[in-house]
Amino acid sequence: MSKPVIADNKPIKVELEKDSDYFFCTCGRSKSQPFCDGSHAGTSFKPQRYTAEQDGDQYFCQCKHSLNPPFCDGSHKQFNASDKGKEGPDVVAVD
């Protein structure tokens, strides 16, 4: 699987704690969006670790096509509500 599932066509606001680690879902299959729950097992996807630099709210990507993951960059605007839960186009892996 090189095509992530579009978990949603809008970002999600998350409250972050400084110096805490978060594991961002890159496959789109997690039931704990935007965070990884291990649903990527058996795919080429792996979660992306993010350490919060400060306390506060951020908007994380749920379409899984952001060029700046885990943050939303507006890439979801290419998808509509009917795309939710479907595989999107291929993405370039971001380490």
User: CB neighbours (10 Å) of residue 75?
Assistant: 19
Q: What percent of the chain has pLDDT over 90?
A: 89
Instruction: Note down the domain range covering 51.
Output: 1-76
Please give the mean pLDDT across all residues of the chain.
Answer: 94
Could you tell me if residue 90 is inside a domain? no
Tell me how many domains the chain contains. Answer: 1
Could you tell me if residue 49 is inside a domain? yes
The per-residue pLDDT for 2 is 76
pLDDT in tens, 24-63: 999 999 999 999 999 999 999 999 999 999 999 999 999 9
Beta strands 56-60 and 12-16, pairing class: antiparallel
Could you tell me if residue 95 is inside a domain? no
Could you tell me if residue 71 is inside a domain? yes
Across the range 53-78, mean pLDDT stands at 97
pLDDT band at 76 (very low <50, low <70, confident <90, very high): very high
Residue 54: what are its φ and ψ, rounded to 5°? Answer: -160, 160
Residues in the chain: 95
